[in-house]
Every structure is written in C-alpha cells, then in structure tokens.
Structure 1
Amino acid sequence: MSHAADDDIEAFFDRVARFGYEPRLERTSGTMRFEIFDDQRADQETDHWLVTFSRGHLDASRGQHPADTVIRIDRATFRDLITGRANMVENWLRNRVQAFGAPTLLFQFWLIPGLFPGPPDADHPRDFVRRARR
C-alpha cells in the first residue's frame, strides 16, 4: 500500500466532506460506501469510506456502515480516477469499478462540477478557444 495513494485518497474524501452544497443534488438523498482494496496484497486490506447525500449537501467519513450503494474498487484505479488519469465510465464498463445497490448515486457523484479533475493534459475550454483564434 502506497503512502502517496493513501494521502491522495484521504485528501479526496476530505475535499468531499468540505464540498458544501451542490444545487444539482437538491433532490438527492442517500449513502454510498466506497470499499477501496489493495489488489497487490494477499490479505486484501480494505478501506471503507461513506459518502452521504442529503438534499444537496455532501459529507464523507471513514467507516463500514450500511449504504444504499456500495462501490468496490482497487486502490490504484481509485487513485487514477481522483487524479484525473482515468475515466470512471470506462473503468465501470471494464468492471474495475463495481457498483451494487443504486448505481445512479455513483454517476451523480461523478458529475459534480469541480470534485473530480479532468485529465492532466486537458485544456480549459477558454484556453482552447484562445489558441484557436491565434
């Protein structure tokens, strides 16, 4: 288990907990538990994080609590997702992201503006237009 991966994952869930209000989630309530496991270890140590949606507000905490949706994902793939190096839908289709319960929560979570970064080499649309005008 990499300390850098753990630091990135903890920082991500801290950001979720501090995210505040998202108007697009005003009608969304539920819980989503992330089960993040280390695919390279024989003992399959698993970290559990709970994300709570409450009418537009988000919260995140550690713990193995009952949830409406359970997401199973290996640590390396999760780190790639939260750093913008991988795409969630692509990894879901390849069964690297497994969703049980109400998977719509996962897609609503993924689409929250500003929570997940774009690819590291991606251009901001304004920068792209400025370069195209030159």
Structure 2
Amino acid sequence: MDIVNCSRCGGIYVKNPVRDICDRCYREEEEAYEKVSKYLKKRENRTASMLQVVQDTGVSEELILKFIKKGRIKLVQFPNLAYPCEKCGNPIQTGRLCSKCVNDFKNELEIFEREEQRKKEMEEKRAYYAVNEKYRKRQ
C-alpha cells in the first residue's frame, strides 16, 4: 500500500492504480463532469464554444480537456468544441496533432528516410571501392 500526494490538491492518499487524485478531488471532478455533461445535453448548448462551456458551467478548460482526452466527452456531437494540437496549439477535434502538423511530420519522416537510404547507398559504394582497391593491389 503506497501513500502518495494528490496531483491536484497535494493531499495525501492511498495510491489508486486507476487515478492520480484523492477521493475528494475525484468526487469534485465527477461533479464537474456531470455539470458539463448536463449542459452539453441541452439542444441549445450543443453548438457552444469551449469559452461558453467554461463560463456557463464554471468548470475549468483544463478539466474539460481532460474529459475530452479521456473520451468522456465525444466531440463528434459538439462542432464548436475543440482542444489544442500538441505541436502547434491549433484547435482540433480528433487525435493529438492537426492535419498540418501530421503532414509536416510525414514530410520530415520521408526526408529522413531518403537521407538514410542515401547514406546507406554511399556506404555500400565505399565498401565496394575498398574491396575493389584491395583486389587490384593483389594483382
């Protein structure tokens, strides 16, 4: 049984493998989730932006983003809700990176792979010439 500090309030609690917060903070987060969930279930709030949800519910953007990232809030139903791309910060609704950053990453990877292939070919040519030079000297 490990005793650790709550990552949210700093209080001491018995470590739980499922969550990194104490029971009191967990209950507070669950109440906040219920508040956000009820708010978003109302038809007139389905097009609310993140700022509107934060202002109308009093729940922090950070906590709402946590609910989204854990899959508790599905953005498919809420077109104006988004979270930041982990690389550039632009708003996205799926994944960890926006499409521009994904494309940039793919392009960088392709360049790297081409460069590695070129290096490999150069090494093979050097090895061939070195072997070939040894062969000529023997004759």
Structures share a fold, TM > 0.5? no
The TM-score range, normalised by the shorter chain, is under 0.3
TM-score normalized with structure 2 length: 0.25
Q: Who wins on radius of gyration, i.e. which is larger?
A: 2
Structure number with the bigger relative contact order (C-alpha 8 A, sep ≥ 6) is 1
More strand by share: 1
TM-score normalized with structure 1 length: 0.26
